[in-house]
Structures are given as C-alpha cells and as structure tokens.
Chain A
Amino acid sequence: MNVYLRLVYRNLRANLDKISLFFELIFPLFFVFVQGYALNGIVPPFELGNGVVISYSLFLAAGAVTLTVINAGTNAGTQLWYDRKNGMFEQILMGPFTRAQYILSIIIATLVIGIGGSLLVFLLAFPVLGASISPTIQGAALFVLALILGTMFFGAFAIALSVGLKSSETFQIVSTFAFFVFLFTSTVFFPATKAPPAIETVSLLNPLTYVTDIFRAGLFNAATPLVSLELGVLVVEAAVMFVIAVLAFRRIRV
C-alpha cells in the first residue's frame, strides 16, 4: 500500500476524536438552521453577483459549509499535538518515513475531513432549505478548489500554531480565538461590502472570505471576473501558509 495511504489511514484512525468530529459538524448546522431561519425574515434577499439573487438562509448555508474547512484545519494541529504528546511523532520519524511524508499525510487527512465534512453539511442543509442548485462544471470546480485551498490554508495555519505553542491547552485556546477572528471578519455571515470599512479591510486579508466567496460563486453560478482575482489571492495565501508550516515543522526538536 502506498506510504501516504498508510499514514493518512493511521491519522484518521488514531488521532480523530469522534465526539469532537460530531460537534464540529453540528456547529455549522446550528448556524444554518437557527441563525439562518431566525434572520431570514428580517434580512431581505440580495444579489450575490452576476444577477443572482438569493435568500439570507441560503447565503448563510453556503457560508456554513465553508466553516467546516476551519474545523478541519484545527484538526491538523490537534493531530500533530497528539503525536508529539504521545511520542508517536518521533516513533514515526524513526520508521521508514520522511518528515515531508508525515506532514503531507496530516494535510491529506485534513483535506479528507474538510471535504467530507463540507459535503455532509451541504447534503444535510441544502435539501432542507429547499434550494434547487445546479452548478456548472466550472462552478463545481470552483467550489471544490475553494474548499481544498481553504483546508490547506487552515491546516497549515494550525500546524504552524501547534509547533509554536508550548502546550496542547494553549493550542486549544489560541486556535479557538483565531477561529472566531477568522469567522467574524469573513463573509460567512454578511457580505463584506455591507460591513463598516475597518471590517471590510480586515476581511480582504482573511482567506475564509475568499473561500466563502468563491464557494458561493461556484455553487450559485454567480462568478464574476473578481472571483479569478480572489482565487489568485487564496492560492497565494495557502501557499505562503504552507511554506510557513513546513518551516515551522522543520524546527520541531526531537
């Protein structure tokens, strides 16, 4: 069996807490069905781009799908923390694996969780909301790419954070704080253009903004020329964060 398949299988079996995964899934659905329904009556439908008009609950549901990307990313840091805490990090590196294979296996496991979780939230939320969605092949490629790049960014971010922090407790607290910063300065809950200028500026730096915007554009066939630019920014952000994570990872002392 391929070395990556073996390591990814191990990461998914050994380091994933099923209860945490369940709640990570519940969390976005909570936004979709509670906040989405609650605000749908007071927020009028608005144009997404390309002449596409959608309700607030659909707007939020798409945002909630991309939320799983952050959750999956946090998992990458947790996997590394567990391995370091339990001595499996050294054990694996003394086996027939390279550091690159190990870190990539965490990223791939994170992608599996991210894409799988997104798909599950999507399948649970959209039929209930009664949405009829028929994305084009180009649109589908866009939203899949957004999810992959987003998971890569947040996975790499969590790995870098996990290397830099001295205890798993600190990692949990800091990653939760970072989670909320990313969440509330992104376009998951509201369009950035309708936010105060300061928040709008911050949201332009936030990769979750681009993940969410590209995902919505792909899903609702609302892609404008701006989406290409957003995709470019997201690729750069994901690549830079990946390099930072690899550099941080190489600094881990054994």
Chain B
Amino acid sequence: MTTSEYVIDVKDLTKRFGEKMAVENVTFNTKRSEVFGFLGPNGAGKTTTIKMLTTLLPPTSGTASVLGFDLKTQGRKIRERIGVVQQQDSFDQGLNVETSMEVYGLIWDVPKKLRRDRIDELIERFGMHDFRKLATLDLSAGQRRRLQVAREFIHDMDLLFLDEPTVGLDPIVRRNVLDYIKDKVKDGLTIFFTTHILEEAEYLCDRIAVINQGRIIQIDTPGNLKRRFGSAKAVEFNLQEESPPGFVENISSQESISSLTYDKSTKTYRTTTSRPELVIPEIYRIADRFRLTISSIFIAQATLEDAFINMVTEDDKETKGRETG
C-alpha cells in the first residue's frame, strides 16, 4: 500500500449504462480502520459502486484511488489487497465447505499451514462445524452465506467490501459475523459495507453515505444522521377501531408525511415526517372525518431507519419536483 491519507478516495465517479445513469458524480473518502456504510434503496447504485471500486466495472468518468492505487491504471495492485463478499452467491459447486475454503485459500496463495489454521479458526468462529463436510450445493442459503463471508477472511487484505453480507443469516449468526468484522477492524482492516438492515449499519459503521438514484445525498456519522434527519420526526398513533378503506391512503397523501407503516402486532401506525407539528393535527382531522378515535399519539424517538426514509423520500420528492419543472 502506498502512503495515502485515504484508503478509498473517490471524486465525481460516474457510471452510465447506455441511457441509464447508475452512479452519478459520487464523491467520498474512507480512512484506515473505518467502517464506511453505503446505504440506499434497491437499485440506488450501491453494487455498481462496489463493482467499480473492485475494478470489475470501468467507470464512465471521474477518478478514484483505492489503497493509494489508481483505479483505472493499477487495478491488479488493488485486487491483490482487497477482499470482496458479493451480494450474489458465490461458491464452487463441486466441493464441500472445508475443501472450498481450502481451494479458495490456495488460489490466493496462502501458505498451506496458515491456510489450515485459518480455516479451522473460521469454521469455529462462524459456527460451521456441523456442515464443514457438506457439499456447497446442499447448503441452505444462510449456511452458504456464512461460508461466503468466512472464506474471504482466509487471505490477507487491507480493505474488505461487504455487499449485504448478512442477508439470510439468523440474528445470532448475524451478530456473530458483525462482531468478527469489528474485531478485524480493530486489527486495522477497513470495511466498505452495504446493507438494508439499518440497525446493522448503526451497530457497525463509523460513517454512512446515503445513496439514492445514483447520487450521494448525505454523508455523516449514524448519530448525526439520526439527529439531523430523524430526531423527533416519527409520529406513532393507535386507533380504537380498525381503519376503514381509504384512511391509510388519506394519511399517506399528506405532503408533510414521508411514509406510513403499520405494525400489525402492536396495531401501531408510524409516520416519518420532517414536520410533526403539522402532521399531528392532520391525523386528528382525518380520523375525525372517518369517525375514528385515536387512542394514543406521540412523537417517537427516531431510528436510523426513520432518518434513512426521510432522506430518501425527500430526495425523491426534490428530484420529481425538478423533473416536472
């Protein structure tokens, strides 16, 4: 690795597929031993950004250096020092769990003794003992995901790209994986992390970039994002009666409401909004029109998810506004 202040340093990175703009003028940087989160809705450009930074896809324009190496001219040097857990499955179908880890270590040229030690350690840490001799084709989706994440730690690296690594994992295994990643970060590893599970991002990330429609709309710490975009901006309420048809649609159509969700188990409606002072009277007015009684209503503590929904929804509204002139 060359001496560079940033592990990843990206300026105006853009990727276009024909007419479709997948990633547009993305600019950010990450420091050593940082967990940098990349959050965004489906199709926002997260995986395309990872594919560019791992040299799989050439950017249309912009510049980037990874581990001090230029993305366009020093791809091989970059790939020698990174690890990647892809969003999609990746496994050798003719092998069992242990052999596939062995072969993966071999292609990365990890010495045999070190390879063996690391495989044993990873099988232990990722709880794969029971299925270590099982063929990869016979694994469940969660087991295969565990193998895919564990396998990447067989070789040395300075930077690890994790593209939704915990999809399909149960909560205990997921926490186990996240804690293992945290340990590696303490040892100096830098992580570029995408997920849809915002609690995970909050648990793991030092900073988060929110990407929507190919553009980064915010970069900050999880705490600051919550404060800036989520603080006191979730309104929760319960009704005494079942809501009649049209009620939810009426609430959702209010301009000041970003989103409305309903939790069946607690029968609680939750709105995210940047203007709770306007939303609460509106909810009362609409409930009254439908002859419904609100049994409780309060401003809830915002989560990172609220902040995320606010950011993305407001960005979508702004984009739509610009497009319609």
A residues within 8 Å of B by Cβ? 1, 3, 6-7, 9-10, 13-17, 82, 86-88, 90-98, 254
Contact = CB atoms under 8 A, between A and B. Distances in A.
B100 A14 contact: yes
A87 B90 contact: yes
A10 B57 contact: no
A97 B84 CA distance: 14
Interface string B34-59: 00000000000000000100111100
Contacts of A10: 92, 103, 106-107
Contacts of B93: 14-15, 82, 86
A9 B109 CA distance: 12
B95 A87 contact: no
A86 to B, nearest CB: 5
B203 interface: no
B76 interface: yes
* Residue with the highest number of chain B CB atoms closer than 10 Å, among A1, A14, A92: A14
B99 interface: yes
B89 interface: yes
A13 B99 contact: yes
**Nearest 4 Cβ contacts at the A-B interface:** A87-B90, A14-B92, A96-B80, A91-B90
Contacts of B94: 13-17, 82
Interface of B: 51, 54-57, 76, 79-80, 82, 84, 86, 88-95, 99-100, 103, 106-109
Nearest to A87: B90
A95 to B, nearest CB: 6
A94 B103 contact: no
A9 B95 CA distance: 13
A86 B57 contact: no
Contact of B107 (A16, A92, A94, A98): A92
B108 A86 contact: no
A15 B100 CA distance: 11
B151 to A, nearest CB: 9
A6 B106 CA distance: 7
A93 B109 CA distance: 15
Contact of A13 (B51, B84, B103): B103
24 contacts: A3-B109, A6-B106, A10-B106, A10-B107, A13-B92, A13-B95, A13-B103, A14-B92, A14-B94, A14-B100, A17-B94, A86-B91, A86-B93, A87-B91, A88-B91, A90-B56, A90-B86, A91-B84, A94-B86, A95-B79, A96-B76, A96-B80, A97-B107, A254-B51
A8 to B, nearest CB: 10
B95 A14 contact: yes
Given A6-B109, A91-B84, 10 more contacts: A1-B106, A13-B95, A17-B94, A86-B89, A87-B90, A88-B92, A91-B86, A92-B107, A93-B56, A254-B57
Contacts of A6: 106-107, 109
A10 B151 CA distance: 15
A27 to B, nearest CB: 21
A7 B80 CA distance: 15
Contact of A96 (B79, B99, B100): B79
Contacts of B86: 87, 90-91, 94
Contacts of A86: 89-93
Given A6-B109, A13-B99, A13-B103, A94 B91 contact: no
A87 B87 CA distance: 10
A235 B103 CA distance: 34
